[in-house]
Amino acid sequence: MGKGKPKISNTIRTLRFHAGEMTQAALAEKVGVTRQTVVAIEQGRYSPSLEVAFRIARAFGVPLEEAFQYDEDSQ
């Protein structure tokens, strides 16, 4: 096992851009969270629940692994 805690990263900002420059507020409304939650998830300060992660991926029509990545070796 590597040192440090595992890191979950995401491509939400890129996905929003490719979805017609969807705003954080529009994504938040679509998945049922606040805009502040979307901001925190995008910036990597907060890891969403599995349910919210799936809702975000489905909002863009992509697999979960395209929206979120798990880096076990991150430090």
Question: Which sequence spans correspond to the domains of the chain?
Answer: 7-71
State the residue for tokens 């979307």. Answer: 38
Global pTM exceeds 0.85: yes
CATH of domain 7-71: 1.10.260.40
**Residue 8 has which token pair?**
């979950």
What percent of the chain is modeled with pLDDT above 70? 89
Q: Are 16 and 31 in contact (CB under 8 A)?
A: no
Q: Are 28 and 37 in contact (CB under 8 A)?
A: yes
User: So what's the pLDDT on residue 1?
Assistant: 45
User: So what's the pLDDT on residue 72?
Assistant: 81
User: Low-confidence residues of the chain, pLDDT below 70?
Assistant: 1-6, 74-75
User: So what's the pLDDT on residue 3?
Assistant: 56
Distance CA 33, CA 59 (A): 13
